[in-house]
Amino acid sequence: GDSVTQMEGPVTLSEEAFLTINCTYTATGYPSLFWYVQYPGEGLQLLLKATKADDKGSNKGFEATYRKETTSFHLEKGSVQVSDSAVYFCALINNDMRFGAGTRLTVKP
């Protein structure tokens, strides 16, 4: 079945550092891809999405490009802030919805 694999955390960065969280997927056909963010004690919020190959999703300085040739959807941000500290989930929708295990990011001042 379909699956999502994302880099294990936790990831700890200093403020203004560059962020990459890797995400790869296995799926038949053409899934839609998503990044969700979960702040402490809260539910998930959609961060960005891409619904076809080569699409780039972006929001709040975060970006991810749907790469079908490498089955990847890596999350990047050029300069992280303390307020970006959260757990990030990569996900796909194909016949159903699958989530990665989540990557915890901590940004230190």
Partner 1 sequence: DGGITQSPKYLFRKEGQNVTLSCEQNLNHDAMYWYRQDPGQGLRLIYYSQIVNDFQKGDIAEGYSVSREKKESFPLTVTSAQKNPTAFYLCASSIGLYETSTDTQYFGPGTRLTVL
User: Which residues sit at the interface with partner 1, rule CB under 8 A?
Assistant: 4, 32, 34, 36, 41-46, 49, 51, 89, 93, 95-97, 99-102
Between 13 and 44, name the residue whose CB sits nearer to partner 1: 44
In the structure encoding, which two tokens stand for residue 58, read together?
A: 């972006």
Between 77 and 103, name the residue whose CB sits nearer to partner 1: 103
d(CA 81, CA 95): 36
Tell me the closest approach of the beta carbon of residue 85 to partner 1, in angstroms. 17
Tell me the closest approach of the beta carbon of residue 5 to partner 1, in angstroms. 10
Phi, psi of 56 (to 5 degrees): -115, 125
Between 69 and 96, name the residue whose CB sits nearer to partner 1: 96
Bridge partners (DSSP) listed for residue 13: 107
Phi, psi of 45 (to 5 degrees): -125, 140
H helices present in 1-109, as ranges:
none
Bridge partners (DSSP) listed for residue 97: 93
Tell me the closest approach of the beta carbon of residue 97 to partner 1, in angstroms. 6
